[in-house]
Amino acid sequence: MTPYDTHATADPFADSLSAFESLTTILSGSDAGTWTHTDLEEYLDLAGRELLRLLLQDHLDLRAMREEEQMRSGARQVVVGPEGQVRPWRETGHPRWLASVFGMVRVTRVAHRGQGVSNVHRADAVLSLPVGRHSTGLRRLAVTEAVRGSFDQAHDAVTRRCGNVLGKRRLEELVVAAAVDVDSFYRTMIPVPCSREMPLVVQVDGKGVVVRPAALREATRRAAEKAAGGHRARLAPGEKPNRERMATVACVFDTRPVPRRPHDVIHPPGGRSGERPARPGPRAQSKWCTASLVRPPEQVIADAFDQAEARDPKHLRPWVVVVDGARHQLDLIAAETGRRGVTVHVLLDFVHVAEYVWAAAHAFHKPGTTEAESWAAGPLTSILAGHAARVAAEMTGQAEREHLPASRRESVDACERYLTGHLDQLHYDTALNNGWPIATGAVEGACRHLIADRLGITGARWGLPGAEAVLRLRAVVSNGDLDPYWRYHAAREHERLYPTPDQRTYALTS
């Protein structure tokens, strides 16, 4: 009789192979032959995830076995802790849990020990294990889901995908921790250069976020405390008095110049003839967004100008800044451009100008009538042609001639004050001739996407850390930078956790 080969070693992947064979046995059985494709999908979703978890566990056990064999072979390695002290003793069998995207696994490693100092586990650095229980892949999944929908929805999505490996509160903490490297990441990014003929556009806006009382700014908090003593039966629809903290949003983009005429923007009275179709406006290219609830507006504006300067370091391109007319934004932009020594063309959002003109039109004519539309078309076309001062004088003169009552005259006076107070930012004739944008559609779209669609969901009331992290990460996703950011973030996390002299020899696993 031929003797058995007693030199064969146990297969380290025996558990995962057994699970795979069990899975194929079930699928080839008669019972599985009666399953619908839905039944098959549900079964393979659970059984397949367990198979992947076992494969990961077997691989980690194999690593632990090899590390212990190396220790028993007598190979001595000098292990130094982060404080520079040698760990002369070694001890096997030190486990820790890791929550992965496939489920919970256990990592067993050798501990390098020293008197009066913490243990060092070289396997942790080789695997680039996180400081907590949750793997880098699970953290990224949590971030992806949390910036897309509510934390409850994110928790449900992670549980469906990975099993019960993550609580809701821990998910929120992981999202906050994932946003710590956004600023340093963008300082390392080099934008794609453009020709000097392409305008460089900066747009700034603000959007309120409903926050918890402790997250309000001091002035808003005092106003909220003062208003708390009053008695109101109910709020008006959409009213959120003293409950919001203002976020500053800025975007930077390139655009190809598209020269236009005033009538490409405003329909002439009586409508278009069809002989000269309206030319489309310029489109944003390579748009980059940033936003913050915590940092002051001047810092967000400075970040936007940093991005603009990275795209045009020698200031060879025309810089166009479009804002909604808020005086503090204009002051901050003027201070920033003066500090950098760059010449910019500041324009007010034409949509805001049109709102004032339409309010004045309704002082002379009934809203919704053809007369009101025809009246508004005249001043708006003249403003686009560069005659804002004349428009302001003409409408006040008409109000005096028609002896408008004070209740209707106020909207005319408000329009006149707005136009005369911002004449330096109403050079739309120059903007149209050069093909520049004259509206803040890009940054208003960013406000809706970054804030309204996520932070403004029904019933949400935010604390500062969570709101700021979600806002910053949504900006990263909107910029199309999540993949490079996550690689950068994983590398920085490794450097923070394992600042050892031989750190460069470790390969990141994320």
Residue 233 pLDDT: 53
pLDDT, tens digit (0-9, with 9 covering 90-100), for 25-78: 999 999 999 999 999 999 999 999 999 999 999 999 999 999 998 888 877 778
pLDDT, tens digit (0-9, with 9 covering 90-100), for 319-378: 999 998 888 999 999 999 999 999 999 999 999 999 999 999 999 999 989 899 999 999
pLDDT band at residue 83 using 50, 70 and 90 as cut-offs: confident
Residue 1 pLDDT: 46
Phi, then psi, of 151 in degrees rounded to 5: -65, -35
Mean pLDDT computed over every residue of the chain: 89
This prediction's pTM: 0.86
Residue 232 pLDDT: 52
Angular region, 185: left φ>0, alpha ψ -120 to 50, beta rest:
alpha
The H or E element containing residue 178 is helix 168-178
Rounded to 5°, the CA angle 271-443-326 comes to: 90
Q: Where are the extended beta strands (E) located within 259-340?
A: 284-292, 319-323
Q: What percent of the chain has pLDDT over 70?
A: 91
pLDDT band at residue 510 using 50, 70 and 90 as cut-offs: very low
109: pLDDT strictly greater than 80: yes
Rounded to 5°, the CA angle 302-305-306 comes to: 85
219: pLDDT strictly greater than 80: no
Q: Residue 444 is encoded by which pair of tokens?
A: 């208003």
Residue 63 pLDDT: 95
Identify which has the larger pLDDT, 458 or 20. 20
Identify which has the larger pLDDT, 4 or 478. 478
Using DSSP's 3-state secondary structure scheme, residue 207 falls into strand
Q: What percent of the chain has pLDDT over 90?
A: 74
How many whole angstroms separate alpha carbon 94 and alpha carbon 104?
A: 17
Identity at 111, one-letter amino acid code: A
Mean pLDDT value of segment 277-287: 89
pLDDT, tens digit (0-9, with 9 covering 90-100), for 473-508: 999 999 999 999 999 999 999 999 988 554 444 444
Residue 273 pLDDT: 62
Mean pLDDT value of segment 151-180: 95
pLDDT band at residue 509 using 50, 70 and 90 as cut-offs: very low
**Per mean pLDDT, which range of 83-92, 134-143, 448-457 is the poorest?**
83-92
229: pLDDT strictly greater than 70: no
How many whole angstroms separate alpha carbon 109 and alpha carbon 94?
A: 5
The total of other beta-carbon atoms located within 10 Å of residue 461's CB is: 12
- Go through 317-337 and write b for each residue having 16 or more CB atoms within 10 A of its CB, e for each that does not: bbbbbbbbbeeebbebbeebb
pLDDT band at residue 7 using 50, 70 and 90 as cut-offs: very low
